[in-house]
Structure 1
């Protein structure tokens, strides 16, 4: 899955389990209208009846992502993370594991759980992707409004708990890792990224930082694609 743009997420260094800094002519008047218009049969040679077609501009994707009433497409780990691999700016990652829960705080650590509870998180979806000994876990949290998702981003404390699976062992549990946070519509999303061999990912670890940002771009674009699909479907339906 090729990933294009996407809003930039804040990225930070996480300490121990993950501590982040939170962190797209005429001047002459025209003659007035006549009081009456000729009927088509009065026009020499006749003429077709005028037709009018409503041209309604398509609403932006964000409008659909902000409203549970409009954002009604199936939502699951499968719809958010459908492919076994994905591509971000030429870097390919392999999906290792996914999960989902309505108990959002159970898959959060170091303060994030309290923020999710305060804003009444409805569901939390996670996916882990791996590339060249680095892995990230992306968490997508769903709320009932844009305001709640934005409040989670603004009040963010790290972070989503990393998800092991497949060829990816437990990672980013007791070492420094890189984290991000962002929000779009009624969704907030988080990444935590580090080395699968247990090495810490400090502030000068450019590869781990890039991995976290790649995960954030992927999350942003998956959510944005959902909004675009809803807008297109609405437009096609008239």
Structure 2
């Protein structure tokens, strides 16, 4: 049985509001209600002829002018007012002349100042060798622009590559390295470690048809460890293969199971009774578990402690295999020249 362990803006016009009409106002010089024009300036209503300037109404001849050079018989001009207006015009002319001279003086001064500033700037530049540019270094040679490589750095090593390829999977593989310590804990559930073993004779540590499957797919080594908790014992076996494909075939073709490992305080279990067997793989490793009661009780589908223990040990085996790949990938990434 395989177990399910770790796997890889315009506004609209409102209706009802048309454009408000504007009626024409009566024309300037026209009065509402009258269709005729007002008499022109200098005409009296009801008279068709133009009245001569300075003449008397009703007279057709012009009166002689008592003052030569002046027209009409109107009042005498205000000679004092005319003299004041003339004096005012003369004063404005004098102020315009004075203002124009001042502006001309300011303009000449600005031109002279600009010439002085330009001359000083030219002298400073020639004395100091000119203004240095951003592209020139203190020694006078051009400053090189920074360059960047167009080649992207390689991605970090993938731990799965190291547990899948025997050419990369070079780290020592031992029982104590794969199953360290005297106990293990999974999600707060502690398991005590019992006996351990390692062998290259893969078929010798199996039951049923598993031995033949391991041999056919080129099994190189099997490492086992047993754990116990609250009357439940579980043996986990990790088989090593030459490739990921071989390990996957062994998992798929698995029948029978890994042989339970007693000892180190754990008595025989899963003998002449029903136990829970599971299989899975990670990289070039296939791992198998067999779980049962230490008192020989038959396992049923309702025995949750058995299934929980099998899940925990399967997850533990996967984590240990993956940690092996992660350690080798990290070492390769930190190696000189890599």
Scaled by the length of structure 1, the TM-score of the pair is: 0.80
Query: 1:87 Cα deviation (Å)?
Result: 1.0
Report what 1:72 is aligned to. Answer: 170
Gaps of 5+ in 1: 1-8, 12-23, 25-40
Asked whether 1:223 is paired with 2:321, we answer yes
Alpha-carbon contact 1:193-1:208 (below 8 Å) kept:
yes
Asked whether 1:138 is paired with 2:243, we answer no
Asked whether 1:232 is paired with 2:330, we answer yes
Question: Cα RMSD over matched residues?
Answer: 1.9
Distance 1:106 1:93 in 2: 26
2:3 to 1, 10, 13: 10
2:215 to 107, 112, 117: 117
Larger Rg: 2
Distance 2:291 2:265 in 1: 15
Deviations 1:180-215 (A, max 9, x none): 110011000000001111111112211111111111
Query: 1:54 Cα deviation (Å)?
Result: 6.8
2:194 to 84, 96, 100: 96
Deviations 1:212-232 (A, max 9, x none): 111111111110100111111
Distance 2:315 2:327 in 1: 18
Distance 1:219 1:154 in 2: 18
Alpha-carbon contact 1:180-1:213 (below 8 Å) kept:
no
Consecutive aligned runs of 4 or more in structure 1 exceeding 6 Å deviation: none
Q: Which moves more between the two structures, 155-164 or 51-60?
A: 51-60
Query: 1:158 Cα deviation (Å)?
Result: 2.2
Secondary structure of the residue aligned to 1:10 is coil
Report what 1:44 is aligned to. Answer: 136
Query: 1:50 Cα deviation (Å)?
Result: 4.1
Whichever structure has more helix as a proportion of its residues is: 2
Report what 2:258 is aligned to. Answer: 160
Asked whether 1:207 is paired with 2:305, we answer yes
Correspondence 1:167-206 to 2 at 5 A: 167-206=265-304
Distance 1:158 1:221 in 2: 24
Query: 1:56 Cα deviation (Å)?
Result: 2.3
Distance 1:85 1:50 in 2: 55
Gaps of 5+ in 2: 9-132, 138-142
Query: 1:48 Cα deviation (Å)?
Result: 6.8
Report what 1:57 is aligned to. Answer: 155
Scaled by the length of structure 2, the TM-score of the pair is: 0.57
Alpha-carbon contact 1:193-1:212 (below 8 Å) kept:
yes
Distance 2:323 2:248 in 1: 19
Secondary structure of the residue aligned to 1:125 is strand
Query: 1:59 Cα deviation (Å)?
Result: 2.3
Deviations 1:99-152 (A, max 9, x none): 000000000001101101111110000000111111100000000001110000
Whichever structure has more strand as a proportion of its residues is: 1
Distance 2:145 2:160 in 1: 41
